[in-house]
Structure 1
Amino acid sequence: MHEHDVTSPDGTRIRGWRTDNAGPPVLLCPGLGTAPEVWPMLLLPDSAVEQGGARVLSWYHRGTMGSDRPADESRIELADHVADALAVLDAAGVRRCVVMGWSVGVMVAAELARRHPERVSGLMFVAGVPGDLFGAMLGSLGIPAVLRRALTLTGTHALRAISPIIDAILHRIPVNTVTATLAQRSGLMMPGADTQAVIRMLRRFVQHDWRWYFTLALAVSSVPARDLRGLTCPVTVLAGQYDLLASPERATKPVSMLPQARVRIVPTSHFLPLEAPDVVVDELRSLLRRVAAVERARELARPPARDPIDALIPPALTYGSRLRT
């Protein structure tokens, strides 16, 4: 995995990262403030390319893990994250590719496809919703939608208010096998992930500026549920059966009417990429095959290009008059 800098249209310097595996490019829209270590099977070296089969492009959110905060700190809306995604694609010279998203990244991936369908050949949503982020939380607990949105929104504001205390605790907490095991039994995460992978992920995650982290989350809290019926590319949705942050019902409902959607419920928490990495790779490989088939079919369905000379001659001219021309 290699890191590099790109510049978003508003001038913000964004830290991107990529793998050098062979295979088609795949844009990964990350979960909020998460590191590449969340995706262990996508970071395999070239010797294991058959396991991943894709060249992954991604970035870190504004103000996190090496990316600058924007000069105007209000520029952290969904549209700004979509602009960062396009900057990553443009810097890599990628015109069109499959786009994945996890958690908040699902909102970015869906919005990218809605606004720029010509850039997206396929979509994979992993443990996330395309809109109404806070309304999707705690759904698996049976709490009514209106109440759980109010609870989670109020709770996030409260966490931002006490962020100095959170910083003081998390920045000093040792990240080792004990803390990783506790995290895996917290309810937000479940046992099943490789403990060393969890440790690598947590070591970077706990170092956030937590006031900024919760500010980023609140900035996208007003994005409403999205209607995705206009999407025509193949879509795969992976939902965690025990996900407290994106209930399976809310994660799968937006694609229920799409003709090319595939849905798979996995017995994991919100941290599906860590807890079921084989499933992610298998489904990504399957999606890439579906996309390749659809792209070939669309190419065959296009009308043949006219001969350059014919293009200069009005269609109404007869063959005889064409000879005279």
Structure 2
Amino acid sequence: MSDRHHSTTARRLNVYIQGQGFPILGLHGHPGSGRSLSVFTNHLSKRYKTFAPDLRGYGKSRYNGNFEMNDHLTDLEALLDRLEIEKCLILGWSLGGILAMELALRLPERITGLILVATAAKPRGSHPPITWQDNLYTGVAALLNYIKPSWQWNIETFGKRSLFRYLIQQHTSTSYSYIAKEAVPAYLQTSPAATRALYTAIQSGYNRLLDLQQIQCPSLVLAGEQDRHITSDSSLQTAQHLQNSQWQCYPNTAHLFPWEVPQLMLRDIDHWLEEHPQVIGSQ
């Protein structure tokens, strides 16, 4: 992505800022928004300063014209300049993790570390074909869950039969609460242009595995064992190609595992940060 010429100028991104301390840039997935990273930012902002932008075409960073994935990188570099962030740690979930790796390749002197969540430098999926019934149940489950979050009848009747069954493995009130508060609003605010940019990149056969050796900063790679959108095997392959990485895979979870096992995951992130003080600007 980063080898191509940039066709558009940087867009001023909407960004959610919390806390004080060393900067952590949080990058959301697709569909998503800066708000959908609250499971990370509400916790990390107790000790660090978190920046969670809405990427171009997502959330409140409205953009309807066509653009390429590269343009996200242009926007994010401009954001770091605007906020006068000389160095930062990046946490990226799914698409956000791909952009995190791209920024580390593009701005190696500014990126101190990477936390890569449900992502891969050569993303591969194992998602079964989607039926009309899948779409129907997903629409009903999402709507009812939005109106009445974590309603057990809805989870049992529609949730477990919908496409949610591929996004999560643990159909708990916690995971459905996050879906209601953050996934549905983010989905509704994701522009067609953002979807086109992502699928164009996927169809071109995106693969940065061989370039990962250039990334020298420490990396924590986290995956859900039953992830069908970006398989845990492809995340593991990414971890194996990174020079200085730690790998963690959570059983009985899928692509939205941060909403399934939040406390366990945050504990592992805290532990990694303690073991790698250089990524947060201290020795």
What band does the TM-score fall into relative to the shorter chain? 0.7 to 0.9
Q: Give yes or no for contact 1:240–1:270 (8 Å, CA) kept in 2.
A: yes
Matched AA of 2:200: A
Q: Distance in 2 between the 1:234 and 1:114 partners?
A: 13
Shift in alpha-carbon separation, 1:33–1:87, aligned structure 2, 3 A: farther
Q: In the alignment, what sits opposite 1:108?
A: 99
Please say if 1:188 is aligned against 2:186: no
CA displacement at 1:183 relative to structure 2: 4.0
Q: In the alignment, what sits opposite 2:52?
A: 58
CA displacement at 1:61 relative to structure 2: 2.3
- Tell me the number of residue pairs that the alignment of Structure 1 and Structure 2 aligns: 254
Please say if 1:236 is aligned against 2:215: no
CA displacement at 1:89 relative to structure 2: 1.9
Please say if 1:282 is aligned against 2:282: no
Q: Distance in 2 between the 1:45 and 1:281 partners?
A: 9
SS of aligned partner of 2:167: coil
Q: In the alignment, what sits opposite 2:236?
A: 252
Q: Give yes or no for contact 2:28–2:36 (8 Å, CA) kept in 1.
A: no
SS of aligned partner of 1:256: helix
Identity of aligned residues (%): 21
Give runs of aligned pairs for residues 1-325 of structure 1, distance below 5 A. Answer: 10-19=9-18, 21-35=19-33, 36-44=35-43, 49=46, 53-69=47-63, 73-75=65-67, 77-131=68-122, 133=123, 136-138=124-126, 173-174=143-144, 175=146, 176-177=148-149, 178=151, 182-183=158-159, 186-191=165-170, 192=172, 194=174, 195-208=176-189, 211-221=192-202, 222=204, 224-226=206-208, 227=210, 228-267=212-251, 268-293=253-278
Q: In the alignment, what sits opposite 2:3?
A: none
Q: Give yes or no for contact 1:23–1:54 (8 Å, CA) kept in 2.
A: yes
Q: TM-score normalised to the size of structure 2? A: 0.77
CA displacement at 1:186 relative to structure 2: 2.1
CA displacement at 1:84 relative to structure 2: 1.9
Q: Give yes or no for contact 2:59–2:190 (8 Å, CA) kept in 1.
A: no
Q: Distance in 2 between the 1:262 and 1:18 partners?
A: 27
SS of aligned partner of 1:123: strand
Q: Give yes or no for contact 1:180–1:199 (8 Å, CA) kept in 2.
A: no
Q: TM-score normalised to the size of structure 1? A: 0.68
Shift in alpha-carbon separation, 1:106–1:28, aligned structure 2, 3 A: same
Matched AA of 1:187: Y
Answer 1 or 2: higher relative contact order, Cα 8 Å, separation at least 6: 2
Shift in alpha-carbon separation, 1:296–1:18, aligned structure 2, 3 A: closer
Q: Distance in 1 between the 2:185 and 2:38 partners?
A: 14
Matched AA of 2:177: Q
Q: Distance in 2 between the 1:296 and 1:24 partners?
A: 9
Shift in alpha-carbon separation, 1:38–1:113, aligned structure 2, 3 A: closer
Q: Distance in 2 between the 1:44 and 1:296 partners?
A: 20
CA displacement at 1:65 relative to structure 2: 1.5
Q: Give yes or no for contact 1:32–1:61 (8 Å, CA) kept in 2.
A: no
Show structure 2 runs of 5+ residues with no match: 1-7
Alpha-carbon RMSD across the aligned residues, in angstroms, is 3.2
Q: Distance in 2 between the 1:283 and 1:41 partners?
A: 12
How big is each residue's C-alpha offset from its partner over 1:90-127, in whole Å with a ceiling of 9 and x where there is no partner? 22221111111111111100000011101110011100
